[in-house]
A and B are shown apart, each in its own frame.
Chain A
Amino acid sequence: MKTEEMIVKSKAVRQIASLLVGIAVGVAFHYLLFRLSLPVQPFIYVAF
């Protein structure tokens, strides 16, 4: 019984860890779209 419980728990941990890793990758990809498409240099304003 204890072994079965441990198997169920380890499966759940594996699924949760997989989901969290996936979410982190999705967030990183969304940020990359934002960050990589910004112009490389900032606009330098000079007024004189």
Chain B
Amino acid sequence: MTAAEIFRELRSTLAPKTVLVGVLVGFVGLCLLGRRAAREDLHKDFTRFTQWVSPETKYYVTVNEMMSIVRTKAKPGQILVIVGGNSVFRGVGQPPDQLWTKRLQENLGDAYCVVNFAFNGSGITDGGAVAAEALRKEFPKQIYMANAAPTQWPIPDGTITYRFVYWDAYHKGLLIDDPARTATINHFNALPPYSGGFKELTMREQLDRWFYFQDYWNDVTFAQFNTVWGFYTLGPTKFLRARKTYPDPEPDFLKMTMATRYLEANLEAEMVNVRGCSVYAYNKDADGKWQPYAPIWDQFTEYIKSTVPAELKKRTLIVLSRNSPYYIERLAPDERERDNLAYVDAVKKWKEGGYESIDYGRDFLIEDYGDRTHLTWQGGAKLSGIIADKVREMSQNLGYLPAK
């Protein structure tokens, strides 16, 4: 029997109107289940997003998933502290039980609820920033923080990899309508590389607004059986194994040798990265003193004006992550001076822009770092102390705590 014959046979056997009703029942049913999944917390005992729940393995976390995690974790009256940023804040090289945000939670105590929504390679305005903004009315006592490098231009709708979260929230009507931010987003998305794939992304998110396919199939993939198969840098996914059953694969830097953490073969490339934090931002004047290179700093100052809506700036903490002394000590004395200036000046610019900002790492030891930029859990514990002090100070200034 050929395929055409099978199809003819089926067509004559089936009742067309009932088939159509079935199609509607199946499709609309899953849309409704998607809406239900969007309100449920799949990620019980959430610590952080692993690579098995990230775009690294084609799992695109929705803003509703993040909001549900917060609703489960945060108790009424607590000050919500959402941590965004990149792999440094995600705690690469720190096992889950030693994660720096766990130490931060212990440092801050029960008056606060710390949630780590950082992703590898994400920026200030990605994932966690969007979730915090979407939760601004439900949790008005909130602090959002993310780490960054000096003069790193923040794009308001996020980095190319992670901007799907912003557009997910945008099409679900969860974000503040801020004309200044919209203008900057339009400016970026009209230019390559940001324009690449943007139309497809917005089309996907517009459809998802109605059909909730992301929440539904993420629920299935995470909790029931895998639906996004592939071979990833971590290895292949098991055919039907639910993502929730994969353990957090993060290794412990402190169980690795220094030679593995600070690979000799990478020294040159890492020095380029370290110099890259300041080399384009300063020039020497006639007296041999470093002077800020105006085009870079002016552009930076202009962009941070619209990174987040004005009403959210005061509760946003930008943390500038310094590099390991292993590399800083290898810089020439004038390069070291320039590197330090870049952090000091960037903190100043963020503050002038209406944000809170600090840097860390100047007094950290080589052992506090697992590599050029990521911290060991020992360094993470130090960081948590610094951040906890700043969070308490911000909470006082924002009126979250009773006046002293």
What residues make up the interface of A, taking CB atoms closer than 8 Å to B?
14-15, 17-27, 29-31, 33-35, 37-39, 42-45, 47-48
With the chains together, A14 CA to B30 CA distance in Å? Answer: 24
With the chains together, A29 CA to B28 CA distance in Å? Answer: 11
Contact between chains at A15 and B204 (CB < 8 Å): no
Residues from chain A with a CB closer than 8 A to the CB of B10 are: 21
Q: Nearest CB to that of A31 among chain B residues?
A: B217
- How far in angstroms is the closest Cβ of chain A from B118? 12
Determine if B269 is an interface residue (Cβ-Cβ < 8 Å): yes
Total inter-chain residue pairs, C-beta < 8 Å: 123
Q: Pick the most buried of B16, B18, B24, B87: most chain A CB atoms within 10 A of its CB.
A: B18
SS of B interface (majority): helix
Contact between chains at B161 and A43 (CB < 8 Å): yes
User: Which of A14, A34, A44 is within 8 Å of B14, CB to CB?
Assistant: A14
Residues from chain A with a CB closer than 8 A to the CB of B28 are: 26
Contact between chains at A21 and B19 (CB < 8 Å): yes
Q: Nearest CB to that of B374 among chain A residues?
A: A47
Q: A31-B227, A34-B214, A43-B161 are in contact. Are A18 and B18 (CB under 8 A)?
A: yes
With the chains together, A45 CA to B90 CA distance in Å? Answer: 13
Determine if B294 is an interface residue (Cβ-Cβ < 8 Å): no
- How far in angstroms is the closest Cβ of chain A from B122? 10
With the chains together, A25 CA to B22 CA distance in Å? Answer: 8
Contact between chains at A21 and B14 (CB < 8 Å): yes
Residues from chain B with a CB closer than 8 A to the CB of A25 are: 19, 22-23, 26
Contact between chains at A35 and B22 (CB < 8 Å): no
Q: Pick the most buried of A19, A23, A25, A26: most chain B CB atoms within 10 A of its CB.
A: A26
Contact between chains at A33 and B213 (CB < 8 Å): yes
With the chains together, A12 CA to B26 CA distance in Å? Answer: 19
Contact between chains at A22 and B25 (CB < 8 Å): yes
- How far in angstroms is the closest Cβ of chain A from B8? 15
Contact between chains at A35 and B228 (CB < 8 Å): yes
CB pairs A–B below 8 angstroms (19 shown): A15-B15, A21-B10, A21-B22, A22-B23, A22-B25, A25-B22, A26-B27, A26-B28, A30-B211, A39-B55, A39-B197, A43-B54, A43-B161, A44-B233, A45-B51, A47-B120, A47-B373, A48-B263, A48-B270
User: From residue 144 to 187 of chain B, which have CB atoms closer than 8 A to chain A?
Assistant: 161
